[in-house]
Amino acid sequence: MELFSFKKDIPFMSYGKLTTAISLLTFVLAVVFLLWKGLNLSVEFTGGTVMEVQYQQAANLETIREQVAKVSQGEPTVQSLGTTRDVLIRLQNQNDKSSAQLSNEVLAALKANGSQVELRKVEFVGPQVGEELLTHGLTALSLVIVGIMAYLAMRFEWRFAVSAIIANLHDVIIILGCFAAFQWEFSLTVLAAVLAVLGYSVNESVVVFDRIRENFRKPSMRGRSVAEIIDNAITATMSRTIITHGSTEMMVLAMLLFGGPSLHYFALALTIGIVFGIYSSVLVASPLLMFLGVSRENLIKQPKPKEEAVV
Amino acid sequence: MNRYPLWKYLVIAVTLLLSAVYTLPNFYGETPAVQVSSTRQALPVDTNLMQRIEKRLANEKIQANGIFLDGNSLKIRLNDTDTQIKVRDLVQQEIGDNYIVALNLLAASPTWLTQLKAHPMFLGLDLRGGVHFLLEVDMNAAVDKTLERYAGDVRRELRAQKIRYGSLKRHRDNIEISMRDEAELQKVEALVRDKLPNLSLKADESSRILRLSLTEAEMIKIQGDAIRQNITTLHNRVNELGVAEPVIQQSGANRIVVQLPGVQDTAKAKDILGRTATLEVRMVEDEPSKLAEALSGVIPAGYELLDELSAQGSQKILVKREVELTGDNINDAQPGFDENGTAAVHINLDSTGASIFRQVTADNIGKRMAMVLIEKGKGEVVTAPVIRSEIGGGRVQISGSMNAAEASDIALLLRAGSLAAPMNIIEERTVGPSLGKENIEKGFNSTLYGFAAVALFMAIYYRVFGVISVIALACNVLMLVALLSMLQATLTLPGIAAIALTLGMAIDANVLINERVREEVQNGVPPQSAIKAGYEHAWATILDSNITTLIAGLALLIFGSGPVRGFAVVHCLGILTSVFSAVLVSRGIVNLVYGGRRINKLSV
């Protein structure tokens, strides 16, 4: 079976202006949302206490809100978690009480009117930990960027490294923008998903780049313009791109549908990342490569040993 | 063409066989068990203890499913949870409160697997339920206390040497002594250098002020000691909770991670962890008539009957209620040796403690004094040595009827009772057992459904090559699970997500290969050469793309903590197994199916 067969090369590069405009627009939009609304950071980053409780019957959020407000300071948030029986309570840290006391008191308050409540999960994070996680997260992000760029620069050429990383950071910003726009909770697991997407989408660019390099070396491609060579590379890998991403997305979708609330945002971040990953590696990375002035000489001048022939 | 040498098939076969063997324990589930362990070296868990328990169980006609020593603990495997609870109570009754008897679950895999060291994956707290705490030790308090102690020492030395000084002030990070003249100043300098070498000295000749502060080495030692002492204290307390496999370890310079799998009463856990123990020094009443009276049940007023612990078992001892000295006055207790080379415990008292101790010892020569550790309102005599002579100077040595193991136990208990640096809980995660089960189920189901969807699609889209890819992908899961089981890396929910994601990404390599083979076929290349060219061309791309993914995975592994690390470990391992399975295993199958014969058409 074959779904995607292209008889002719699709002139992707001639759409350069249009795709750049789309990218810029989404990018700017994402940045605006990030600055305007900001990320809805989870307690892991901000510090605080989160409790997950399960009621025997459907829970009344209003009552719970009142019960919780009696024992806690600040503004507790109470929301249902997927079902009517599961409730998520978020509390601010209090100086005069330890998290242990706080969660015990809240649970006692919830049970006060005789409801059947089961404590499913408590997460408490002190303020000192949150800051640390944020710096560690940012360090990890920069390490990924530097590592990937160094590898691509070594394996290909600096122009490839720069355009791949810009294209993929553009994905990362868009994921973050979506999380800001919809105020989805940004937790450590989501951060892991974002970094995994970064590594994964670079794959995509690498596959196209590999083809571009191969095309530059092919005798049959001599005399073709750079744009034509890139178009050919993208078209040739198009079917693979869609199928791979489709397969990965099937896995992610299974997580989104069956993984429960713990994996929900993780899977959501991956979904956005995968969808934009296709777009950016094809329609952002390659035009950037052209823009940076890649030429046959960049790759041919330095003859490399035929390492890919070794299996 | 397209044939592997025999050794390559063998490598693949052996790898897959090993993977299958090490994956196997995960399917057997768990059986209830009772676990006995001890924190004191003086109370060993050994074959003697095992025989004692075996005998008791035989007397009670309880059929154990196996009883064996595993490192420092004894495990008794049982058939059901009812017997498990019965056996726990019986064993506790038989061997006493000083051993930890806990309920546990043991892998139900057959013995031959256990002998191969094949264990099921180690599940994280989010999957099996339990409590995770991150505690931070207040280092400032530890440093503060040490400085306070030194200030006392300096005062005492000055007094002993009859050196007159103007004033002695304790500042936040130094001790300031102002002297009357320079000659005295130099005397003090020499004295401090001689007696307190751990202090760094700075003399201001003009204003005749001497500043003493802690050296860098001393600071590091204090911090190390504070952490170690808190870890020991935590160990003692956690044991009381009867947790089978607690994790208590240092994390970073001043933090301690405590993980208590299976603990459901988190309020109690937090209560016990946060408790403080106190140490009291009291006099022992050895008059036989009073002891006999107390043993018969009539305890004289002002006295208390306590247990003394030793390797021989516990012994009743009559102790006065009046407290002579508390743990607050104890600076340190370390195991060591006395001048005769026998095991001893060295105790260091602060200046107040030293003067009280001198008085008490002077008044009670020939009598015994008891060191009582009080936790949760219950006293326990750690040791009760005889006072041989008056002891001044704050340096006490207890020696005599103890071996090196007992000496270290006693020192540890004494330290636990003296004040350590305070700790605060800075992170807590509690997962109820039902949520844990649900997490496993959901994680497993989403992986399964995702895999099924991908498998179906691949088989339809690439036909034979698709089926081969699916088999390779299944081998990937097998190897990944085997690797996780072998390494006993902690599997968490993000870890399960990483398995699913890794599978989703691993299929990329197979798609690359299949697309390439298809392309070659369409370009009119004969089938055998198409396979060869397809795999060869795809290899470079597979390598590049997996290395970039691996870079991201490693960064997560290095900087991630908690859930991120659980994700990163599986992700990185998964990348490695997927390269192996996509390239070697799938090629191996393709070679078996198509290699070495004439074919006209490839099913791709």
pLDDT at position B464 is 92
> For residue A177, what pLDDT band results from cuts at 50, 70 and 90?
very high
Q: Give pLDDT tens digits for B97-118.
A: 778 788 888 888 888 888 888 8
Q: Whole-model pTM?
A: 0.78
Residue B426 has pLDDT above 80, yes or no: yes
CB B599 within 8 A of CB A224: no
> For residue B21, what pLDDT band results from cuts at 50, 70 and 90?
very high
Q: pLDDT above 90 covers what percent of chain A?
A: 18
A237 vs B contacts (CB less than 8 Å): 515
- CA A28 – CA A30 distance, rounded (Å): 5
- CA B98 – CA B43 distance, rounded (Å): 8
Calculate how close chain A gets to B224, using CA atoms only, in Å: 21
* Most B-contacting residue of A142, A197, A243 (CB-CB within 10 A), to test interface: A243
B126 touches chain A (CB under 8 A): yes
pLDDT at position B376 is 60
B603 touches chain A (CB under 8 A): no
pLDDT at position A99 is 66
CB B469 within 8 A of CB B458: yes
A243/B443 CB distance under 8 A: no
DSSP tag of A211: H
- Reported ipTM: the value is 0.85
Label the pairing between strands A40-41 and A185-186. parallel
Closest CA to B462 of B475, B471, B450, B474: B471
Residue A310 has pLDDT above 50, yes or no: no
Mean pLDDT, all residues of chain B: 85
Q: Which among A103, A206, A255 has the least Cβ separation from residue B545?
A: A206
A194 touches chain B (CB under 8 A): no
- CA B346 – CA B334 distance, rounded (Å): 5
- CA B424 – CA A120 distance, rounded (Å): 23
pLDDT at position B469 is 94
Q: Give pLDDT tens digits for B3-13.
A: 888 999 999 99
A198 touches chain B (CB under 8 A): yes
Q: Which among A2, A188, A255 has the least Cβ separation from residue B562?
A: A188
- CA A299 – CA A217 distance, rounded (Å): 8
Token digits of residue A55: 């009621």
A206/B505 CB distance under 8 A: no
- CA A62 – CA A66 distance, rounded (Å): 6
Task: Pick the more confident residue, B586 or A48.
Answer: B586
CB B113 within 8 A of CB A108: no
Q: Is B16 exposed, middle or buried (0-12, 13-18, 19+ CB in 10 A)?
A: middle
Residue B480 has pLDDT above 90, yes or no: yes
Q: Which among B267, B270, B512 has the least Cβ separation from residue A240?
A: B512
Q: Is the dihedral of CA B347, B351, B357, B358 positive or negative?
A: positive
CA A138 distance to own-chain centroid:
14
- Interface size A-B, in CB pairs within 8 Å, comes to 248
A207/B545 CB distance under 8 A: yes
Calculate how close chain A gets to B467, using CA atoms only, in Å: 13
Closest CA to A44 of A114, A121, A120, A128: A128
A203/B549 CB distance under 8 A: yes
As its CATH architecture, domain B277-418 has: 2-Layer Sandwich (3.30)
Calculate how close chain B gets to A70, using CA atoms only, in Å: 20
Residue A115 has pLDDT above 90, yes or no: no
Domain chopping of chain B, boundaries? 6-24+432-595, 30-108, 140-218, 277-418
H or E element in which residue A288 lies: helix A286-291
- CA A214 – CA A308 distance, rounded (Å): 11
Calculate how close chain A gets to B213, using CA atoms only, in Å: 28
Calculate how close chain B gets to A76, using CA atoms only, in Å: 18
DSSP tag of B489: P
- CA A30 – CA A173 distance, rounded (Å): 6
Residue B398 has pLDDT above 90, yes or no: no
CB B570 within 8 A of CB B578: no
Distances in Å between the Cα of A132 and the Cα atoms of A128, A281, B418 are 7, 32, 32
Calculate how close chain B gets to A280, using CA atoms only, in Å: 16
List the 252-291 stretch of A: residues with Cβ below 8 A of B: 252-255, 257-260, 262-263, 266-267, 270
List the 266-305 stretch of B: residues with Cβ below 8 A of A: 266-267, 270-271, 274
First-to-last alpha carbon distance for chain A, in angstroms, is 28
Q: Give pLDDT tens digits for B533-579.
A: 999 988 988 888 888 889 888 988 888 777 788 899 999 999 999 99
List the 73-112 stretch of A: residues with Cβ below 8 A of B: 98-100, 103-104
Residue B18: count other Cβ atoms within 10 Å of its Cβ.
Answer: 16
- Please state whether B87 falls in left (phi above 0), alpha (psi between -120 and 50) or beta: alpha
Q: B30-108, what's its fold?
A: Alpha-Beta Plaits (3.30.70)
Residue B391: count other Cβ atoms within 10 Å of its Cβ.
Answer: 18
H or E element in which residue B112 lies: helix B111-115
Phi, psi (deg, nearest 5) at residue A41: -70, 140
DSSP tag of B175: E
In chain A, the domains with their CATH numbers are: 12-39+129-297 (1.20.1640.10), 48-125 (3.30.70.3400)
Closest CA to B469 of B479, B459, B477, B482: B459
Mean pLDDT, all residues of chain A: 84
Residue A55: count other Cβ atoms within 10 Å of its Cβ.
Answer: 18
Residue B415 has pLDDT above 50, yes or no: yes
Which of the listed ranges B1-10, B165-174, B238-247 does the model predict with the highest average pLDDT?
B1-10
> For residue A311, what pLDDT band results from cuts at 50, 70 and 90?
very low
Structural class in CATH, domain B6-24+432-595: mainly alpha
Mean pLDDT within B159-178: 83
Q: Give pLDDT tens digits for B270-324.
A: 777 776 667 888 999 888 888 888 888 888 888 888 888 666 667 788 898 888 8
Residue A50 has pLDDT above 90, yes or no: no
A123/B541 CB distance under 8 A: no
Q: Which among B461, B493, B549 has the least Cβ separation from residue A199?
A: B549
pLDDT at position B23 is 93
Looking at 1.10.3470, 3.30.70, 3.40.50, 1.20.1260, the CATH number of the domain B140-218 comes to: 3.30.70
A148/B548 CB distance under 8 A: yes
B545 vs A contacts (CB less than 8 Å): 202-204, 206-207
Say yes or no: do domains B6-24+432-595 and B140-218 share a fold.
no
A243 vs B contacts (CB less than 8 Å): 461, 511, 515
Token digits of residue B188: 């003090």
B565 touches chain A (CB under 8 A): no
Q: pLDDT above 90 covers what percent of chain B?
A: 20
Token digits of residue A205: 């660019």
B536 vs A contacts (CB less than 8 Å): 308-309, 311
Q: Output the CA angle A160-A202-A152, nearest 5 degrees.
A: 40
